[in-house]
Amino acid sequence: MAASGATNDEMMDIGGAELDNNKNEKMFTLKKWNAVAMWSWDVECDTCAICRVQVMDACLRCQGDGNRQAGGKQPECVVVWGECNHSFHHCCMSQWTQQNKRCPLCQKEWSIQRMGK
């Protein structure tokens, strides 16, 4: 989320720089198109490809019965990012890595880059 915000800021800067050379009208059209493209890309990456739930929400396993207290979110149900930059629920990924140590999306060897919210 933070990363996409930064990218948008950069684009605004580029827009500002080019504003000096170009007419106002054209710049506005270009800026809007970029912002829309960014947004849809961001949403796609935020869904866990294993259980199909947003990585910021509790995974499908933790949403189950018996885990309803505290909004169904277990403390250990965090997001995990691999060196390949793919992200999943830690719960979903730890089930999968028991049988296969590769990223299910790009087949690269799975090693954890970071974990968190």
Partner 1 sequence: MSTPARRRLMRDFKKLQEDPPSGVSGAPTDNNIMLWHAIIFGPHDTPFEDGTFKLTIEFSEEYPNKPPTVRFLSKMFHPNVYADGGICLDILQNRWSPTYDVSAILTSIQSLLSDPNPNSPANSMAAQLYKENRREYEKRVKACVEQSWAD
Site for Zn ion in 10-69 (CB under 5 A): 48, 50-51, 59, 62
Tell me if 70 sits within 8 A of 27, measured CB to CB: no
Pick what 84 binds: Zn ion, partner 1, none; C-beta below 5 to 8 Å, kind-dependent. Zn ion
Sheet of strand 79-82, all strands in order from the earlier edge strand to the far edge: 87-89, 79-82, 112-116
Nearest distance from residue 63's CB to partner 1, in Å? 7
Q: Which does 25 bind (CB under 5 to 8 A by kind): Zn ion, partner 1, none?
A: none
Separation CA 23–CA 116 (nearest Å)? 44
For residue 80, state whether it binds Zn ion (rule: CB under 5 A).
no
Contacts with partner 1, residue ranges (CB under 8 A): 49-52, 60-61, 63-65, 92, 95-96, 98-99, 104-105, 107
CB nearer partner 1, residue 5 or residue 64: 64
Q: What is the dihedral of CA 79, 81, 82, 83, to 10 degrees?
A: -160
Spatial separation of the C-alpha atoms in residues 93 and 77, rounded to whole Å: 11
80 binds, among Zn ion, partner 1, none (CB under 5 to 8 A by kind): none
- Does residue number 93 form part of the binding site for Zn ion (CB under 5 A)? no
